[in-house]
Amino acid sequence: MSKTWWRGAAIYQVYLRSFADGNGDGVGDLAGLRSRLPYLKDLGADAIWLNPWYPSPMADGGYDVADYRGIEPVFGTLAEAETLIAEAHELDLKIIIDVVPNHSSTASDWFQQALADPAARDRFWFRDEPGDWQSIFGGPAWTQVPDGQWYLHLFAPEQPDFNWDNPEVHREFEDVLRFWFDRGVDGVRIDSAALLHKSDTAWEDLDPVHDVYRHWRTIADSYEDRVLIGELWLPDQERFARYLRPDELHTAFNFDFLSCPWDPEELRRVIDLTLTTHATVGAPPTWVLSNHDVTRPVTRYGRADTSFAHGGALHGTPSDPELGYRRARAAALLAMALPGGLYVYQGEELGLPEVEDLPDELRQDPMYARSGGTNPGRDGCRVPLPWSGDEPPFGFGGPSPWLPQPESWRKLTAEAQLADLDSMLNLYRTGLRLRRECFGDGTLAWLPYGDRVLAFTRDSGVTCVANLGPDPVPLPDGAVLLASGRLEDRLLPPDTTAWLRTP
Ligand code: GLC
């Protein structure tokens, strides 16, 4: 792969706990992932991003990191992680890991030292009086320790925020980056990347964070082809672009696209804004339809309101499964054709719906508990994958996965879908193969096609047409390479996308 592989890569997101279970304890692990690397290769992934794999009490699915240089024993060992990296590289798959610099775990050595000794508290945010900030997961952002002081946690109380005014915190993360780059990791996804610094009045997007990333860039650049990817939920495009300046992060997730309703004008606006914003700094855009924090597209696109608001999962809202499925297929081909990088969240390629009827007592996401149950949380998009067979656990491994899978997923297993040429899985497989030849990094030229249709041609000469209107529209001339739904008489039905090689 080229030095700038990340500019157009298709990156598959593995939520390890729910991907594949190699040792039968009901929780996905490195052994399970290793056994499924050929599946990801055949799918057409260029890289794999793994959610945190470190030792963790799992108060927030591993985003409460107790040791940044180890592997959670439930997932495997450090030696096994190194084997995974080597095996992935043999298949020409890059490995991206998650680094969580905003907060730690109350189980970390540093926090335990801070609890034991008030003189060791400067690595975190301890104060004599709590402020009035609310946690992003609901409830107060300050928790009191037995001696009376309070510490800040923008997320769960088990996730104390680091103090980035302390140089030791900087040194620690620089060392953590080197630790993993030395082991062959090809990139890091930076969790909550805009939150690091705080003032007494603000906790997001403070200017000193850019010095951190400038420094991290010099570290990444001292290795070959390593990439820094930001998780930035920033509505202000100018502020967002600052993180992608040539001496900072390489790319960031496009949450505007992910949150956008299935509406042609809105989508076109977001696509144009994305392209313009990224062009100002020369960074490639990315296209993201889902991840482990958001409602699955098949469910979201079947609702009357097809947008997604962070923290705003809406269980119980009626969703038309057929409509959602058709739109999710059309959205997949649209996202694959756009210029830049692509993210695919595990299960998206199987067209899995959000599981909305999990028993409340099994819900593990702190968002659910901290909202007093008003927010169902994110467990519904984290249910273990169905691989094969006719009944749960559908080849996931072990007799009982950590979250139960719906019986109806028998039709959605990877095995069943491989055998069905029209399945979502085969759409993704063909789409990602063609994407490598026809799309990825580059530019697009819009074609005039009315306001309910998104149509553009890419540098390769291949045209993408997505019909978001209520009526079929005629296709342009050219050979159809792939379509998300059945075409009749060269008409593109509603909620369908087609790719054509135009003459
Ligand atoms: C990010 C992660 C999310 C996690 C949060 C706190 O938004 O994607 O899963 O809960 O950060 O670490």
Q: Return the percentage of the chain with pLDDT > 90, whole number.
A: 95
Report strand pairing: 496-501 vs 462-467: antiparallel
Q: In this structure, is the dihedral angle defined by the CA atoms of residues 107, 113, 114 and 115, taken in order, positive or negative?
A: positive
Q: Is the CB of 63 under 6 A from ligand 1?
A: yes
The alpha carbons of the chain give a radius of gyration, in whole angstroms, of 22
CA distance 318 to 311: 19
Q: Is the CB of 293 under 6 A from ligand 1?
A: yes
pLDDT value, residue 124: 98
| Tokens representing residue 376 in the block | 């169902």
Q: How far is CA 16 from the centre of its chain?
A: 13
pLDDT value, residue 311: 63
Residues ≥6 apart with Cβ < 8 Å to 221: none
List pLDDT tens digits, range 383-412: 999 999 999 999 999 899 999 999 999 999
pLDDT at residue 376 is higher than 70: yes
Q: Which atom of ligand 1 is closest in space to residue 378's alpha carbon? A: 9
pLDDT value, residue 312: 61
Strands (E), 169-263: 187-190, 227-230, 251-252
Nearest CA to ligand 1 atom 4: 63
CA distance 231 to 293: 12
Q: Where are the alpha helices (DSSP H) in 91-208?
A: 109-116, 167-182
Could you tell me the pLDDT band of residue 2, with boundaries at 50, 70 and 90?
A: confident
List pLDDT tens digits, range 472-493: 999 999 999 999 999 988 999 9
pLDDT value, residue 442: 96
Q: Is the CB of 162 under 6 A from ligand 1?
A: no
Q: Is the CB of 161 under 6 A from ligand 1?
A: no
CA distance 434 to 256: 25
pLDDT at residue 161 is higher than 90: yes
**pTM of the prediction?**
0.98
| Tokens representing residue 148 in the block | 């009376």
DSSP 3-state helix, strand, coil percentages of the chain (rounded to 5)?
30, 15, 50
CA distance 63 to 19: 17
pLDDT value, residue 488: 87
Mean pLDDT of 266-281: 98
pLDDT at residue 318 is higher than 90: yes
Using the mean position of ligand 1's atoms as its centre, give its distance from the Cα of residue 475 in Å: 42
Mean pLDDT of 203-217: 98
Mean pLDDT of 117-133: 97
Q: Is the CB of 457 under 6 A from ligand 1?
A: no
Does residue 393 have a cis bond before it (omega within 30 degrees)?
Answer: yes
